[in-house]
Every structure is written in C-alpha cells, then in structure tokens.
Amino acid sequence: MEQKEGIIRTEYSEIMQKSYIDYAMSVIIARALPDVRDGLKPVQRRTLYDMYELGIRYDRPYRKCARIVGDTMGKYHPHGDSSIYEALVVMAQEFKKGMPLVDGHGNFGSIEGDGAAAMRYTEARLQKITQEAYLADLDKDVVDFVPNFDETEKEPAVLPVKVPNLLINGAEGIAVGMATSIPPHNLEEVIEGVKAYMKNPDITTQEMLSYIKGPDFPTGGIVVNKDDLAEIYETGTGKIRLRGKVEIEKAKGGKERLVITEIPYTMVGANIGKFLNDVYSLVESKKTNDIVDISNQSSKEGIRIVLELRKGCNTENLCNMLYKKTRLEDTFGVNMLAVAGGRPETMGLIPVIRHHVNFQYELATRKYKNLLAKELDKKEIQEGLIKACDVIDLIIEILRGSKNIKEAKACLVTGETGAIRFKTKKSKEEAGKLRFTERQAAAILEMRLYKLIGLELEALRKEHEETLKHIAQYQEILGSRGAMAKVIIRELDKFRKEYGRQRRTAIENAAEAVYEEKKMEEIPVVALTDRFGYAKAVDVPTYERNKEAADSESKYQIPCKNTDKLCIFTDTGQQHLVKVKDLPFGKFREKGTPLDNISNYNSGEERLIYMDSLSNLTGKTLLFASSSGMLKQVDGGEFDVSKRTTAATKLGDGDRLLAAALTEEKETIILQTNKGMFLRFLLSEVPQKKKGAVGVRGIRLSSDDEVEAVYLLGEKEEKTITFKEKEIALHRLRIAGRDTKGVKK
C-alpha cells in the first residue's frame, strides 16, 4: 500500500517567529540568566555539581580543570569547553566575585586583563563555603533532579544554596533582547538584610538600606551617588557612579604624587590599560601639564598606579579632570533581571530577598520532612528490637521451631503458630500474641546475636531516646513557620560568622566632578601636509626659516590658528574635519602623522582633492567640479559643522569629485576633457547652491568622454599648459557659453 507523505502548509513568517521565540527563550532560561533562587547560571550550576560528584572537595587534592570541564561537558553542558572553562575561571577570580566559589590553583588570570592559562595546566577544587552553603543538602532530596540533555544522567534543577548568592556574587549576562547586570554585595550585610526581612516581611527598601548599605565590589572603590540607591533598589534598574580611591603622597623636593589604590569595578581587565593610555593622551594633547610621569606598580598585594606631579600642582583640579576624562569615575548599569518561576523578571532588592527566603522555607520543609521520615523509620525498627530483646527466648524458640523464614516472619507479624513446633503450650500462646510490623520483623530476623550483650542493649535504648528527641525537634520545626525561621537564621549566622568580611566599597554622596580646563593659548601656525597624507603643524617663525624646503616637500601649506580646523575634501564628495591641535606640533623635521589616524579619512578608499582651514573658507565661495562635468558654487560657511565627517556635495551614480577650489578674484573657468575638448566660460554662469545639491552641467560630453582637469583664471591672469606635447595658452581660448561642447585641441 502506498503511504502518503504528510505535508504541513503554513506561513514561513509564522515558522520563523515561532523558531526565533523558542531560541530566544532557550538562551534566556537555559544559558544567559541566573535563577533567582541559587543565583547561578546553568553552566555555573552544572560545573559546581560536577565537581561535587567528582568529589573535588575543599579538603581534598586539586584536580585538573580539563578533567572538570570534560566531565561537565560530557554529562551536563554540551555547549563547548570554552564556555565551561570561562565560567570556572570567573568563579575562582577574587577580583570578579564577591565570594569566589572555586579554589583555583595555577594561573587564573589577573585583574589587569591577562587570561587564564589553558585548562590542561590549571587545577581547581571547591571552596569550603561552596561545599557547606551551596551543595551540602543535595543528598537529602531537597531539590528536584531532572534528566540531562541525553537522559543518561540526573542533574539538580537548582542547587540548595543557603545564602543569597544572587546578591553576594552578582551576575552579568546577555540574553536575546535583554541583559542582566547585578552588582556584588557584602555577605554580612546581605545576611542581616535577609534576617530583617524574615522578622518583618513588610520592610521597605529604604529600611532595608540600613542593613544592606549598597554594592560591595571586590575591587573596592567609592560609590558616589548614595541618594540614588533607594530608587535603584526599588526598581531594580539604574546607574551606580563609581570612583577609584586616590591618595596623595609627598615626594622629594616638595612635589606630590597621586596614588590610585582602588579602581572602579568596571575598570577590571583591559580597561586598566585603557586608563593609562587616556592619561598619556591628556598629557600629549596638552590638556594637562601637571603629570610628569605615570607608572603601574600593581602587584599581587593590590592596585598601585602612581602619577608623579609637578611642583605646585592643583591636585584637586587634576583629580576632577581624571574623573571627567578617564574611567577613574565610571558608571555601573544595574538591571536586576533573573529567572523567577521559569520566566525572566526584573526585580528590586526586596523581591530578590523574598524569593530567596521562600526558597529557604521550601528547602527546609523538604529537608526536615525527609529527616523526620527517616527518624520515624528508625523509631519503628528500634522499638521492635527493644521489644524483641524482652522476649528473646520466645523468638529463639519460634526460629528453632520454624521450617523456613516465611513461617517465622508470619508468626512475628500476625501471631500465626500452626506450622511451628513449640516446647510448651505456654510458649505457643505467647507467640500467638506477637504483633510486630513487617519492617520490625525483618530487622529482628537480621539481628546479630552480639546485640543481646547488655551494653549493646543500653546503646540501643539511648539511640532510641535520641531518635525520639529528633522526631520531636523535626515535628516542632515543621509545625511552626517561626521555629523553621529560627533554624534558617541560626544557619545564616553560622555562615556570617565564618565567612563574613569587612566592606571594601565606600558608600557616600559626592559632588559632580568639576574642573577648570585651561584654555589653549591661540597662536598662528602653518599646517603642512605632504603627498603621502602625513600632516604636522609648525609655528610661523619655523615655517619662515624653512620655507623653501616646506614648500617643496609639502603638497599643502595652510596658514591657520592652533585652535582652527582643517577641511579635507575627497573624490567621494565627503568632507572630513581635523583639529589642528591634534596634529604633531613643533619640530619641522618631524614626519608628522597620517591624516587617516586623526580623522575618518580613509586614504585607501578616498583620494584627497582639496584641503584648507575652516577659517579661510568662512565668508568665501568654493567651486565644486565633478568628472561628469557637473558644477556649482557653495558658500564656505556651510562647511562649519560639528560632525567629523559630512557630505560636502551630492554626486550622481558613478560620478566622482574632480576639483574643489576657492573662486576669490577668479573670472573664468576652463574645463578640459580626456579627449582634448576645452571649454572656457564665465564663472558667473555657475550658480551658487547648497552643498546638498548636484549642481549644473558645465560641458556637454560625448558618451565615452569625461572631464579631466579644471582651471580658474583671474581677469588678466595668463596660464599655459602642455596637453599631448602641445602647449596651450588657456587665457587665449575664446570665451563661450556654459553647457556647450567646447573646442578640440
């Protein structure tokens, strides 16, 4: 029988939408965002659980990270070894985590951005707190276990974390259409905040801030917008302003030095190098003359960046300048987004603590229910053994008179004596009264004879008393939320006492950094650009002394001020602005710097057509001519713009800018084509237009011809050129009308 193929017809857009939403939710829930209960992303949770399973405890030898990563990838996290190792490394870095969860041995990177060594070289094991506060109750069935990706193993859906890890260690992650950024906090303060919430669930965010002062970054630093914290923690979003800690030390000769001993958390990594480069740039650009030298003396002992200052420096103004112009003051964007109840949710401080506390009650309930069940089972067996010891002679008689274990067990449980031989009728009557439970009977049958020793009997009775105490204790805890709260708080206090540390980040209100920027002394200079696009600036006396060499070596010599801007016009119709102060200044024999490096001009894709200073263009008119013969005049003031790059003229498809020139004191224009057509007409025939216009046609071209050169002549100016080995006097050409063919030469 022929089987029909099932074809489902649907809109392609619907399939794309559904597939993308599925992918987005997978990234959000199963990869990028932490769970509000344990504060861990799936890769972190799986790595810690795998270390727990491998027995890599805090009091055991370190194991190779490659073993941990491989095992985690093979069992729980099939998303590549690099993501697992990166998560493992971050959990071991003290400068990134408020409370490191992994004890790393080997090169795990540095605060200055150095990467960790390859996983085959490094070793790791669990930290003590991770074992005691994150993984301790996994054997007590307090969390659900779910199948792994190929359903060959079981993994915990969430770890039974007893401290608010989401707040202590913070979190960073980029999902699809959303991102999380939660700052780390102080363990002691967070535990005090949790206790305060458990005692008063109606506590406000403002009241909570008396316990949890604010973020506590592992790099220290200073939070300078204390008054904004209440709103940030209420909404779960906002910006925290961070500053590094700066100390002033006395140096020799009455000089001072600024020493940065703590950095903003956002500067961790490559941004330390960027900070040093920013300070170099401030010195090179003459923004400050107060810094004589800068050195990074940081070591394992901590951060120490030293700025040597000149004598008489205004240190307060310099500090404010560093706050403004470098990352010594930075913002940490807070977005407290986490997975709660299987969906992403932005939460304030109180909701995060509420979720944690509810999770603790859930863990405690499951834990003590399981413990109670075990103790009740023990109680049942212990009572059976104690009772059996009192009638041990009868039980021995039953065992000796039974043909098999089934008959003996039936007698112990139901008092059935029909198949058993007894020595006396009284024994049979006593045996008929026995009513042990199934489990008690099994325990009696498995009991060893040494248990009948007096001391063993006494130990059994004491053990039974302990069991009864535990049962009463567990029933009390389960019977009252208040009693359970006391147990949770007692455990939190234990962690606080053992693992608490002093706050590192100071919280205060500080005024906005204000500094007086020294105005540049305005002086006349000459900007020089050679044919290779290297530019520099020299003062006028230097130019005058080297005028002959400067004019011969430079394509452009532009008199201007050091506060001026240079306009670069390219064949693509773009205008690029360069600040004269960005040019190397001083020595004539300096090569200069490529224009590509200090502007958006790209010499590989554009050709420089014309260059002049913005001040020289203002109040004058600039002529634009394209290779297709389009012309227009533009007022120079239109090029005074704030953008570094803007369109100087509009070009048609396939057209390019051929020339740009000032029209001052010029009367006629000559267009020369590739095929030797020359057209001379009055400049007044070219209209003045906006820079966004295309312009008007200057010459009628044949289909395979284009304009090759443009010349401007004054009223009595004479100019002769050589074209195809013929000398042509441009000033002798007849003046014709614009938009004609011209004459052949």
Q: Tokens 């500080």 belong to which residue?
A: 510
Q: Tokens 């909701």 belong to which residue?
A: 351
The Cβ-side half-sphere exposure at 595, using a 13 Å CA radius, reads 31
The three-class DSSP label of residue 9 is coil
Q: Which of 20, 23, 58, 121 is catalytic?
A: 121
Q: How many CB atoms lie within 10 A of CB 668?
A: 20
Closest CA to 573 of 678, 645, 517, 514: 645
One-letter identity of residue 470: H
What are 342-345's contacts with CB under 8 Å, separation 24+? 342/29, 343/29, 344/28, 344/29, 344/33, 344/175, 344/178, 345/36
**Residue 168: C-alpha distances to residues 141, 163, 216, 361, 607 (Å):** 25, 8, 9, 20, 57
How far apart CA 583 and CA 562 sit, in angstroms, is 9
User: Which ranges constitute the DSSP H helices of 56-105?
Assistant: 65-75, 81-92
Q: Are 577 and 614 in contact (CB under 8 A)?
A: yes
> φ and ψ at 631, to 5 degrees?
-130, 155
How far apart CA 96 and CA 118 sit, in angstroms, is 19
> Which helix (H) or strand (E) is 377 found in, with range?
helix 349-390
Residue 543 falls in the annotated catalytic set: no
The radius of gyration of the chain's CA atoms, rounded to the nearest angstrom, is: 42
How far apart CA 268 and CA 258 sit, in angstroms, is 20
Q: Tokens 């006391």 belong to which residue?
A: 486
Catalytic (active-site) positions: 121
